[in-house]
A and B are shown apart, each in its own frame.
Chain A
Amino acid sequence: MKTFRSDRLPRLTKIMYDSQLRLNTKNWEDTLKANHQEVERLLEMISIFDSWRTSLERAYGDVARDLIKETFMDAYMSVHFACMALYKQAHVSLRTELETALRLVYFSSHPVEFKWWRDDKDYFHGRHVWGDKFDYFRNLEYFQRFEQRAVKLFETENRNNPNNIGKLYKILSKYVHSGFPAFLTTMQSVAPVYKRADLNLWIVNFKEVQKCINTILALGFSAEFKAFDAIVQRNVLRVIRDRNYKRGLKQVLGLRIQGRI
């Protein structure tokens, strides 16, 4: 078939093609009817990756060129899936976004390992650079200081310390491993449809992931973050939102940003 014609598709393919087209349109419309302003805010949040990209590409070349774009795209696709009511896939994209950001920090100072990883050598096993309970990151100077002065970023057990990277990673992993509450289907239906409660849960997790990733980048690339002009620094802190995180970053990095953010 040189020119695409849906009426010439084989039977099952045609049924799936037609139903997905209808579902996509309906779910996008149902989601945006009630939530277009929220979706716009989320897209504004991930626009911060343009600033990171310009700065990090200059400093780290290929590592940043490959991984920042991918981090952004994971976030973008997460929004896309959520608007299509594919909440499980939207969460899976959030976990890959978080992982790509962690890899970016690691590979920025490990060019040989980056090349191995890009060439798909079987070098990394299990949980990759965030293995052993994020041990690598816990030993980086600014992460250590941030954990001492502000928030335990990687702890997974402490109930008094919600919304950190360790706990978020656990939550997102349930979607990757298809834990029961993260199922796509319900007792009543197989087709994904817009559900306000599921969307709201995803929005909360989406914001938390952007908070964690921008914190990871600010601590992992402290020199570049400090070299941003004040407007961009403010934009990053606005994405982070959490008062304890912002205060911690200001202290650890010695930021001199005037006024409330």
Chain B
Amino acid sequence: MADLDTLRGQLIEELWLPVVKEAGKHFYGRRKNKRMRLFTLTDGVLFGELIRFEGEGLIQRGDAVLWVSNMIKAVRAETESRGSVYSGSICDEEVLGTVCPLRSLFPCDILNLDFSSQDYNSNNQRIEKEIGKTEQFLCLQNQKRNPGFVVLQSTVIDAEVLDRDAIKNFSDSMHENDWGGLTIDGFPQLVADNGQKRNFIKQVLQSLGQKYKYRALKITDAVKIIDANQQLISIAGIFTR
């Protein structure tokens, strides 16, 4: 069984860093220090993305917003970053609620929604909830009138099937003018094959961008094998108006 931290390190080098660099060039031209604002679901131990993005002059650590899964990791994160550190179960956080502390820290240029870095109590509809949370973040970016940003969505997929209609229903419950619903009808009601799950999540992300009036300049993905049943997948997209 491959180590998740090692695989995440490979994703940073092979997918996240090249896409964020490309987005930096697109949004900030040839400016040497891009100072992009990062929101990251981070592991609270290695902070690989924080270190690498900063090393490449893409972000400044003090501007970053870190989310870790528990308070023990939050203490550790505060020793690593002068930025803002929050903790808790991200899937239970009311991102769009008026009391959510993240509201005032958005918009961000990079949304690293690495759900694989967070602990969770239950596998029940886990990925469906993660996708729902991604939509809330895109909605928040839209509310805060962000003209363009990068999304890195990562998760562990396993033998659990994905419920297409649960995702569609949740998305439909978030009303948006002139929007006819997610375009995911080409997928079965229960998505079981791991390759198909990756394409499905990619399609949902692209469609969610459209819902909030963003155009996908680029959308790409990578997969890392954990073991015979589990894969770490990551989808990276550059969205703009």
Is B a genuine binding partner of A?
yes
Tell me whether A242 is interfacial, beta carbon within 8 Å: no
Q: Out of A43, A50, A73, which one reaches B88, CB within 8 Å?
A: A50
Contacts of A57 in B (CB 8 A): 88
User: Contact: B121 with A231, CB < 8 Å?
Assistant: yes
> Please, which residues of chain B bring their CB within 8 A of the CB of A72?
71
Whether the Cβ atoms of A76 and B88 lie closer than 8 Å is no
Return the contact of A58 from the options B75, B94, B121 (Cβ within 8 A): B94
Q: Is the CB of A43 within 8 A of B89?
A: no
Q: List 23 A-B contacts (CB under 8 A).
A: A46-B72, A47-B72, A49-B71, A50-B70, A50-B88, A50-B89, A51-B89, A51-B121, A53-B88, A54-B88, A54-B89, A54-B92, A57-B88, A58-B92, A58-B94, A69-B71, A73-B71, A76-B72, A76-B75, A229-B121, A229-B122, A231-B122, A232-B121
* Residues of chain A within 8 A of B93, CB atoms compared: 54
A131 within 8 A of B: no
A residues neighboring B (CB under 8 Å): 43, 46-47, 49-51, 53-54, 57-58, 61, 69, 72-73, 76, 229, 231-232
Indicate whether B87 reaches chain A with its CB closer than 8 angstroms.
Answer: yes
Using Cβ atoms and an 8 Å threshold, which residues of chain B touch A54? 88-89, 92-93
Most buried by A among B92, B93, B121: B121
Binding site for A on B (CB under 8 A): 69-72, 75, 87-89, 92-94, 99, 121-122
The contact of A53 among B71, B75, B99, B121, by CB within 8 Å, is: B71
Q: How distant is B71 from chain A, measured CB to nearest CB, in Å?
A: 5
Q: Which residues of B contact A46 (CB under 8 A)?
A: 72
A239 to B: closest C-beta gap in Å: 15
Complex CA–CA separation, A57 to B86 (angstroms): 13
Closest to A235 in B: B121
**Nearest-neighbor residue (CB-CB) of B71 within chain A:** A72
12 extra interface residue pairs, beta carbon distance < 8 Å, beyond A51-B89, A54-B88: A47-B70, A47-B72, A50-B69, A50-B70, A53-B71, A69-B71, A72-B71, A76-B72, A229-B121, A229-B122, A231-B122, A232-B121
A73 to B89, CA, bound (A): 18
Q: Which of A50, A57, A72, A232 has the most chain B CB within a 10 Å cutoff?
A: A50
